[in-house]
Chain A
Amino acid sequence: MKGNAIQRRKMRWEFPFHMMLLPGVLVTLVYAYGPMFGIVMAFQKFDPVLSFWKSKFVGWKNFRYIFHLPEFNQVLWNTVLISVLKIGFGLLVPLLLALLLNELTKNGLKRIVQTSIFLPFFLSWTVLGGVLLELFMLKGPINSLLSGVGVEPIMFMGDGNWFRAIIVGSDVWKGMGYNMIIFLAAIVGINSSLYEAAEVDGAGKWKQMIHITLPGMAPIIILMATLSLGNILNAGFDQILILYNPIVYEHADVIDTFVYRLGIFSQQYAPAAAIGLFKSAISLGLVGFSYFLAYRFSNYRIF
């Protein structure tokens, strides 16, 4: 009897917690778990009128279809190539900037540099895409600068290799402020007595960077590299969507943009969902693996 009363009191105590969580749970249930359940459409001959519930199941047919699409391999390769380049430069450039910025002694200048590097991070790809297209147009300022030094105008947005370079470069440009802040925070966290000791021992600034700063930052560098592993199949959907055009599809089409065109424009819902599932499944594996590594080596936990 007494145990029961305690149980009831505990439930009364916890009741407000359930109430507070209710709205968040409902939204998540419908708009996060709903689509997860909706993945069954990848195995259906999906008919929007019949929806998930009544469409006919066709097994792996959609998957066989997508793997035989002529673009599939190219799209997969573009995705991995673009995102690996983005991850590599996206870590390297901010690391370099953080090290250089840390050498500045004037705080005012440091602030200005940091503020301006960080700005593009907060702007949308529509704005940045608009700016980039103005700059790199055939008759834009970049080409007119180049013609000043005698270079023929380049069709940046119509040449696959230039286009990829712009995609990677502008992504690094947008994101470098963010990673730089994290690296700077890591540098600040290094014990300053290490530097004093090194100075007494006669180590110059260069040696201090190699032997103190970089090893001190190693855990955070490794952590960030590991966590970005899960993004290998995310090559930047809205960036590419706003910047690309049919001429560069062959070099710039990535899984997400391909799914969008196949699913929404061509209305091939089920095959597009099948590609989406293919991507989510691999990403899940990668994310799981990367979090395992991050937990193992950096003791990183989200919750």
Chain B
Amino acid sequence: MVYKASLGRKVFTFVNVLFLVAITLLGILPFVHLLSVSLSSNVAAMAAEVKLWPVGFTFEAYHYLGKKVEFLRSLGVSVERVVLGTIINMVLTVLAAYPLSKSNEQFRFRTLYVWFFAITMFFGGGLIPTYIVIKETALLNSIWALILPGALNVWNMVMLLNFFRNIPKDMEEAATIDGASQWSILWRIYLPVSLPALATILLFMMVGHWNSWFDGILYMNSPEKYPLQSYLSTLVTSINKKAISLDDLNALENVSEKTLRTAQIFLGALPIMLVYPFLQKYFIKGITVGSVKE
């Protein structure tokens, strides 16, 4: 529709665009600052001269990280966790979602299983009993402590089963008459048509594993077993102590500490920042399917 905008409308649009651009910057500038500090010289970073552009540009911090054992080791743990954890999550989620997407006539025990899983969405044992169970099942200090407890996320399962339910049933019926097993119906009919939904939950699982840090701190006794985000959290907590101290920061901090720290934090965010703009539509689909459904 083409019509002449009133003056008030023009002013509103102008102010609105300005405001939204400001909000956009609020989302981006903190990370620009982080990157700038990590690319600055140690002296400039220490003197807090760096704002949004590197001062005394250098790749030194990143060079140094290439040899930093703690960083590389925790990166390795994270990669292992993401790969292993995502595969297991995916298998368990698909296998649970498929039977539960059947009707009560097709699967008489469906309601029973649904309740079994649903209860865990509303009630949990809490931090301490969970810790004791992990300890009792001898998972402490093992990567499985980061994978098994959350191996089946009920929200993801519900999302997938709702998707499965909307798949037309005629192909499946034809296959059943031909004597296909449930396993091959799932594998040959359901999975191929569910690729968009699977991509969405795959992303959520990968991001979830990459980002978790507290379970690493809680269940791993030795820092050598920390995934990247847990290792980063120890760095962040160490600044925290300095952020509140009134002493001269320069004297307290090792010269290269600040640029190194920011470089590591930035690298912890980098994979997501790189991937996310391209996969955004899948995330959005997952969110709107999961929350606003009929």
Chain A residues within CB distance 8 Å of chain B: 10, 14, 16-18, 20-21, 23-25, 27-28, 30-39, 41, 48, 51-52, 97, 100-101, 103-105, 109, 112-113, 115-120, 122-127, 129-141, 144, 155, 157-158, 173, 177-178, 181-182, 185-186, 205, 220, 237-238, 241-245, 247, 256, 259-260, 263-264, 269, 272-273, 276-277, 279-280, 284, 287-288, 302-303
Contacts and interface: CB of A to CB of B under 8 A. Distances in A.
Contacts of B128: 41, 259, 263-264, 269, 272-273, 276
Shortest beta-carbon contacts, A-B, top 6:
A35-B125, A276-B126, A38-B129, A124-B211, A17-B99, A116-B27
Contacts of B229: 124, 126-127
A27 B182 contact: no
B236 interface: yes
B109 A115 contact: no
B240 interface: yes
Contact of A273 (B48, B114, B129, B287): B129
Contact of B27 (A51, A109, A117, A244): A117
Given A38-B125, A182-B288, A157 B244 contact: yes
B284 interface: yes
A125 B213 CA distance: 9
Interface string B110-143: 0001101110111111111111111111000000
Interface in B74-109: 91-93, 95-96, 98-100, 102, 107-109
Nearest to A241: B214
Given A137-B243, A141-B48, A182-B291, A116 B28 contact: yes
B11 interface: no
Q: Among the interface residues A32, A113, A220, which one has the most CB atoms of the partner chain B within 10 A? A: A32
A23 B92 contact: yes
B276 A277 contact: no
A129 B236 contact: yes
Contacts, number: 292
Contact of B117 (A28, A35, A112): A28
B43 interface: no
Contacts of B133: 30-31, 34-35, 38
A155 B31 CA distance: 22
A39 to B, nearest CB: 6
A131 B129 contact: no
Contacts of A280: 123-126
B183 A31 contact: no
6 contacts: A18-B99, A35-B130, A122-B207, A124-B210, A137-B243, A138-B243
Given A237-B214, A276-B127, A245 B121 contact: no
B38 to A, nearest CB: 10
Interface stretch (B54-62, B63-71, B146-154, B166-174): B146-154
A86 to B, nearest CB: 18
Contacts of A31: 130, 133-134, 148-151
Contacts of A48: 132, 135
Nearest to A188: B288
Q: Among the interface residues B183, B207, B262, B284, which one has the most CB atoms of the partner chain A within 10 A? A: B284
B129 A264 contact: no
Interface in B237-270: 237, 239-244, 246, 249, 261-262, 265, 268-269
A259 B127 contact: yes
Given A135-B33, A182-B291, A264 B218 contact: yes
A252 to B, nearest CB: 12
B37 interface: yes
B236 A133 contact: yes
Contacts of B16: 100, 103-104
B92 A51 contact: no
Contacts of A132: 30
A20 B109 CA distance: 13
Given A263-B127, A303-B118, A18 B292 contact: no
Contacts of A17: 98-99, 102, 107, 109, 182
Contacts of B240: 133, 157, 242-245
A131 B125 contact: no
Q: Among the interface residues A21, A277, A284, which one has the most CB atoms of the partner chain B within 10 A? A: A21
Interface in B156-192: 157-158, 181-183, 186
